Amino acid sequence: MYQPDWSVIPQNMGLFLEGILLTLEISALALVISIPIGIILGLCRISKNKIISFLATTYIEIMRGVPLLVLLFWIFFVMGRFLQLGPYWSAIVGLAAFSGAFVAEIVRAGIQSVPRGQMEAARSSGMSYVQAMRLIILPQAFRKVLPPLASQFIILIKDSSLVSVISVVDLTLVAKNLVATSFRSIEVWTFVAVLYFIMTFTLSQIIRFLEKKYNSYD
């Protein structure tokens, strides 16, 4: 009969902490990179230029249609071969490219939620389209997209567990290695599940606080 031995957890706490830090680091960097990608794609998505809109839509649909695992493999084994990215940057590029498509839709929805009269009023006052977008539309849209962007960070943290397949020593790969050496799969994977829950639950509570704060300003 299987006898649980939880001593494997405190004995390897340093490895778990390193995995957590790398998971958060990769997720945060991927989000930071995906935000400008998403803003540009979101603006291109609603562009009146059909070619620009088509290209942005095509990128978004491809990224949303290709599984993240396949995308990570392609970047690591194909693109990484030419650019010498390595596992770490292949993971960040893959997550950012994938997340950028979803950020683009968040940005697009945020911009389109701003009343059209705001743009018309800005243009009638002499502003160019770029000025109106930068000074009037985007600041208003930012308030609306902040909670969904924070939610996207939570999704990135969970999606980042896939980067272990390209040898990034994140929390998931730390767990795989410990299971392979200690044969304590129940204890290790249970603890890792708890760690992921703590990270995502904490962030979700922060998001709820931000939503209440911004809703109180409306």
* 53: in domain: yes
The reported pLDDT for the residue numbered 208 is: 82
Residue-wise pLDDT tens digits, 64-110: 999 999 999 999 999 877 888 889 999 999 999 999 999 999 988 88
Q: Is the pLDDT of residue 57 over 90?
A: yes
**What is the number of domains present in the chain?**
1
**Residue range of the domain that includes 31:** 10-215
Q: Is the pLDDT of residue 1 over 70?
A: no
109: CATH: 1.10.3720.10
* 23: in domain: yes
Q: Measured between alpha carbons, how far is 16 from 175 in angstroms, rounded to an integer? A: 8
* 4: in domain: no
**Residue showing tokens 């693109």:** 79
CB within 8 A of 96, min separation 6: which ones? 29, 30, 31, 33, 34, 37
* 41: in domain: yes
Q: Is the pLDDT of residue 214 over 70?
A: no
Least confident of 18-32, 35-49, 137-151: 137-151
Model pTM score? 0.86
Least confident of 1-5, 57-61, 69-73: 1-5
* 3: in domain: no
**Pure H helices in the chain:** 8-11, 13-45, 50-65, 68-74, 80-83, 86-113, 116-124, 129-132, 138-159, 171-182, 185-215
Tally Cβ neighbours within 10 Å of residue 177.
16
Residue-wise pLDDT tens digits, 111-163: 888 887 777 787 788 787 777 877 788 777 877 787 788 888 888 999 999 99
* 91: in domain: yes
Q: Measured between alpha carbons, how far is 143 from 214 in angstroms, rounded to an integer? A: 7
* 176: in domain: yes
Q: Measured between alpha carbons, how far is 150 from 131 in angstroms, rounded to an integer? A: 27
* 149: in domain: yes
The reported pLDDT for the residue numbered 215 is: 63
CA nearest to 146, candidates 38, 25, 59: 38
